[in-house]
Structure 1
């Protein structure tokens, strides 16, 4: 049969099909409308809850709420929720407030950990029980095990409190320029302190001296390079990290187009002790209060100063020292050794409200220069002819008394130890009434210099003991008696100086310090004795100790009778010694120590202060 003649295909059998399709379409449209209305209602309720949670967490954090004692965090959060039309009246509405800490995982996600004793972050959780949906209600009428008609919506917010005032100090961390002469000294000095050799050009040293590195960016990259927990800067600073890794990370963070800096860092990486994995802790260079926000680390450090600090820490932890040949200093007849006793503390940041005068307090904002010790041996062979003439004359007189004069054996050399203790500065006060009038005060002192001249034990000197014992006298002439001869102890000529040069101390007042993250400004100087080099030279103008006889015997009378002859010797020795030692002080002070960030005549301190670094902020 033809399909057109089939009963099912008759025209009267198709009547009503459009109406059925229309009914189904209307039912589907109604269902979609119900879904849209329910979804929109739940979405708006969820959004309202999130807004309530956000505002409650922000208010509790900004008012510095706590979860112990009066539990003000909960009080502040509840008051905020009530003002935003979320009143906790029954079990359908809940609000929970918790205090704790915030950490960032290796995946970069923040995690809140409940700890009622901490207020690093405050969490607010609000919930509201509402009807699930109209569609669900209709479905429940025909379901033997109906889904509950209500649903609990929940919103969570975590906020950190407004940051406290943040202060930062930096100290003597840069050089102006480096010429070819200084480049040779720096290669010898830094290479010796590292136990190897360096060959960095003057352009390379200048590149380091003129480059800055952002501390926050550097630490973030370092955490990645050593697989440390991201954001846990306190732990990172306390970790033993190889100097090689520290230098490699610095090269990564610094601009790659600065070839001079990259070449200089490559030169440092070539030193054998660095390549072998010498480790240090960054906390020996950077002093940060525990729990500081990351914004406190958003500071710029001079690259030369930072790398200088790496070298100082590495040297202070080892028995190595630098030996500087006479030709590098432009002097003859001497050799100089340099040892870091204590490394510098380049930068310190923290809450000035917590700062104390105790330098060992972890809350102290304290910086210092390095404690550096130099030992120079001066060749006094030019004194031998004079000593021979005087001893011959004295022996003629003393032969009748069974006594003689013994001269110092060759090679005759004199040891000079110059120790510059740390210059330091620490925050003592601040004012944050407004950004236009903010101030920061820091108690500051210049380096205390200790000068020792005589015979110095080199093994004791090369150790990192806090202070050297007094030197032994270098005896030039010694009167002996008896048979066999023994030291008489009643007369002779020797060299001995044990002199401290007092440090200068004052309070530096910084007006309107720059914000944290900017170049430290202002930089103030505490100037000590401008003639400190001259004063040290004057201390050596008469270094000869003249021993006179103390016994009343005939030998004592004879020794006293030749005083004029001995005085002549003293004058000769003084002129020779002063002529040799005097020119030595300027190179040591002006070249060696300054290249290690130490200037014993003055100290330069830079300051930063942010009174309101940030308001309370939502973090989760």
Structure 2
């Protein structure tokens, strides 16, 4: 009986001492894992080193650190807790740290036969590092007449705004999270999420009206938008705003809830992007009069394609998020002032600019001084494909294939005909890294990325490939001297043609072999435990 009682006493002592020690050490191990996860999540590029240093400072041996796993944590209540973290997924926004330690057994070893008890602890910490950024719009050429023709053509109406009106719209900063609630009100959508609102098919007239509401306090912009609203009276065109704005992780918020990071854009940028979306793939025809030397007249045919599916022009997102420009095609039929026997040269210049892309490569949050935070974008301007040739309107609307036009008849002297054909292309082989300081972000500084393979004017590149054919009558007999004269006429107008191209493209919001990008918001939250 005494022996049996002694065994019970030992067992109870083990229960009271050893189990208490196990729970105490388990809590200490879990605290160390929690702290290591938080520190690692605060320094994701060096997560393993940061976790190891934290474990060492808590007096655990290096082998205690079993695993440091960066991954993606998705904060969605609809997901089961074990499904919210995916180890190895990119871009990482969280870290899972696993520790394995041992605690001594004082009395329990009599029962277990082991002098130590294994303890395991796992912790997941996530950090919020978001940026708002955009690509594309570069409306620096505020030619009132040309903008009225192009913007009006895309909206399906006639505009008569002045350059002063356009400047007012350009200088009116609109926060997307002020604009979207106003848009929901106009569309009679209440209690919906941002995702539901942006996925809705909404009237262009409601978008312009919502812009007026969001521009409160800017009388010039409100007056200009009111004039546009009047011009759009009766228009029934609808668009899906998701191609304009992507609110990223805030898509599940109810419209009206305002997150910590904003998405500020100019009223003119947003209006132009909406107009391009409303246009679909319809062609815009306009006469262009810029009074350039050597150019007698210009007619313009333009087509703005849709952005890649599922993409937008401005977004809020973490590393890996991207934005895209729209594909743009223009055909300029330029009438050049001739000389000598050739009085006029009709030069058709076709330019296609594919969609450009900007990807959020990194958000570096400065702790504790947020002023040291930076954002890095990887930017690829759209590939530029240009022709001098007989490009038809049907070719311009077929976005499934690139035009490969035949020679165009550029000089008609009765029985003497001159044809011409040329091709030039330019593209970046890899994205260009663009860094934005905190000061750049606060000032919403736009930065331009140029195509690295583009070293001369587009017109010069085309002329370098220009092949002229001169023939007399149906026999196709060559006429000496005519080809050289036509080439000299075109060559003399190189500067004017370049100016014309740049002006038209800038008015459409794009540049030759260029992409404009800017970051207008950053959110840096400290790492927090999520599991």
Q: Tell me if TM exceeds 0.5.
A: yes
Q: 2:223 aligns with which of 263, 278, 284?
A: 263
Q: 2:332 aligns with which of 376, 399, 406?
A: 376
SS of 1:270's partner is: helix
Q: 1:169 aligns with which of 133, 141, 145?
A: 133
Find runs of 4+ consecutive structure 1 residues off by over 6 angstroms. Answer: 113-120, 613-617
Within 5 Å, give how 1:78-157 maps onto structure 2: none
Mean CA deviation greater in 538-547 or 414-423? 538-547
SS of 1:526's partner is: strand
Q: How has the CA–CA distance of structure 1 residues 100 and 164 changed in structure 2, closer, same or farther, with 3 Å as cutoff?
A: closer
For residues 477 and 261 of structure 1, the distance between their equivalents in structure 2, rounded to whole angstroms, comes to 47
Question: Which residue number corresponds to residue 47 of structure 1?
Answer: none
The answer to whether the Cα contact below 8 Å between 1:414 and 1:455 also exists between their aligned partners in 2 is no
Question: Which residue number corresponds to residue 238 of structure 1?
Answer: 199
Within 5 Å, give how 1:265-414 maps onto structure 2: 265-272=225-232, 275-289=234-248, 292=251, 294-295=258-259, 298-315=262-279, 317-326=280-289, 331-342=295-306, 345-352=312-319, 355=320, 365-379=321-335, 385=341, 413-414=346-347
Question: How much does 1:287 deviate?
Answer: 2.8
Question: Which residue number corresponds to residue 457 of structure 1?
Answer: 392
Q: 1:441 aligns with which of 376, 380, 397?
A: 376
Question: Which residue number corresponds to residue 599 of structure 1?
Answer: 511
Q: How has the CA–CA distance of structure 1 residues 493 and 198 changed in structure 2, closer, same or farther, with 3 Å as cutoff?
A: closer
Question: How much does 1:295 deviate?
Answer: 1.8
Question: How much does 1:198 deviate?
Answer: 0.6
The answer to whether the Cα contact below 8 Å between 1:420 and 1:450 also exists between their aligned partners in 2 is yes
Question: Which residue number corresponds to residue 205 of structure 1?
Answer: 166
For residues 547 and 385 of structure 1, the distance between their equivalents in structure 2, rounded to whole angstroms, comes to 14
Question: How much does 1:116 deviate?
Answer: 6.3
Q: How has the CA–CA distance of structure 1 residues 579 and 386 changed in structure 2, closer, same or farther, with 3 Å as cutoff?
A: same
SS of 2:387's partner is: strand
The answer to whether the Cα contact below 8 Å between 2:427 and 2:513 also exists between their aligned partners in 1 is no
SS of 1:537's partner is: helix
Per-residue Cα deviation, 1:322-371 (whole angstroms, up to 9, x for no partner): 4133468784233112221235943121122xx2xxxxxxxxx2123332
For residues 329 and 296 of structure 1, the distance between their equivalents in structure 2, rounded to whole angstroms, comes to 49
Q: 2:433 aligns with which of 505, 508, 511?
A: 508
The answer to whether the Cα contact below 8 Å between 1:187 and 1:200 also exists between their aligned partners in 2 is yes
Question: How much does 1:290 deviate?
Answer: 5.2
Q: How has the CA–CA distance of structure 1 residues 614 and 510 changed in structure 2, closer, same or farther, with 3 Å as cutoff?
A: same
SS of 1:417's partner is: strand
The answer to whether the Cα contact below 8 Å between 2:426 and 2:453 also exists between their aligned partners in 1 is no
Question: Which residue number corresponds to residue 353 of structure 2?
Answer: 420
Question: How much does 1:614 deviate?
Answer: 9.2
Per-residue Cα deviation, 1:70-95 (whole angstroms, up to 9, x for no partner): xxxxxxxxxxxxxxxxxxxxxxxxxx
SS of 2:378's partner is: strand
Question: How much does 1:373 deviate?
Answer: 1.3
The answer to whether the Cα contact below 8 Å between 1:100 and 1:115 also exists between their aligned partners in 2 is no
Question: How much does 1:532 deviate?
Answer: 5.6
Per-residue Cα deviation, 1:181-206 (whole angstroms, up to 9, x for no partner): x1122112211222321111222111
The answer to whether the Cα contact below 8 Å between 2:325 and 2:356 also exists between their aligned partners in 1 is yes
For residues 328 and 277 of structure 1, the distance between their equivalents in structure 2, rounded to whole angstroms, comes to 37
Question: How much does 1:541 deviate?
Answer: 5.4
Gaps of 5+ in 2: 1-33, 39-73, 86-124
For residues 162 and 475 of structure 1, the distance between their equivalents in structure 2, rounded to whole angstroms, comes to 64
The answer to whether the Cα contact below 8 Å between 1:425 and 1:445 also exists between their aligned partners in 2 is yes
The answer to whether the Cα contact below 8 Å between 1:269 and 1:275 also exists between their aligned partners in 2 is no
Q: How has the CA–CA distance of structure 1 residues 501 and 253 changed in structure 2, closer, same or farther, with 3 Å as cutoff?
A: same
Tell which structure's C-alpha radius of gyration is larger. Answer: 1
For residues 223 and 525 of structure 2, the distance between their equivalents in structure 1, rounded to whole angstroms, comes to 40
Q: How many residues align?
A: 403
SS of 1:321's partner is: strand
1:471 is the counterpart of 2:427: no
The answer to whether the Cα contact below 8 Å between 1:243 and 1:280 also exists between their aligned partners in 2 is yes
Per-residue Cα deviation, 1:476-505 (whole angstroms, up to 9, x for no partner): 799xxxxxxxxxxxxx96311122123474
Question: How much does 1:250 deviate?
Answer: 1.1
SS of 1:167's partner is: strand
For residues 173 and 308 of structure 1, the distance between their equivalents in structure 2, rounded to whole angstroms, comes to 8
Question: Which residue number corresponds to residue 554 of structure 1?
Answer: none
Q: How has the CA–CA distance of structure 1 residues 531 and 432 changed in structure 2, closer, same or farther, with 3 Å as cutoff?
A: closer
The answer to whether the Cα contact below 8 Å between 2:428 and 2:453 also exists between their aligned partners in 1 is no
The answer to whether the Cα contact below 8 Å between 2:388 and 2:462 also exists between their aligned partners in 1 is no
Within 5 Å, give how 1:523-562 maps onto structure 2: 523-528=446-451, 534-540=457-463, 543-546=466-469
The answer to whether the Cα contact below 8 Å between 1:346 and 1:367 also exists between their aligned partners in 2 is yes
Aligned-residue CA RMSD in angstroms?
Answer: 4.1
1:192 is the counterpart of 2:159: no
Q: How has the CA–CA distance of structure 1 residues 459 and 169 changed in structure 2, closer, same or farther, with 3 Å as cutoff?
A: same
The answer to whether the Cα contact below 8 Å between 2:139 and 2:508 also exists between their aligned partners in 1 is no
Mean CA deviation greater in 421-430 or 288-297? 288-297
Per-residue Cα deviation, 1:525-557 (whole angstroms, up to 9, x for no partner): 323469766243342256233589xxxxxxxxx
Gaps of 5+ in 1: 1-58, 64-98, 103-112, 121-160, 356-364, 388-410, 479-491, 549-557
For residues 276 and 215 of structure 2, the distance between their equivalents in structure 1, rounded to whole angstroms, comes to 21
For residues 322 and 114 of structure 1, the distance between their equivalents in structure 2, rounded to whole angstroms, comes to 51
Question: How much does 1:304 deviate?
Answer: 1.2
Within 5 Å, give how 1:1-80 maps onto structure 2: none
For residues 457 and 379 of structure 2, the distance between their equivalents in structure 1, rounded to whole angstroms, comes to 23
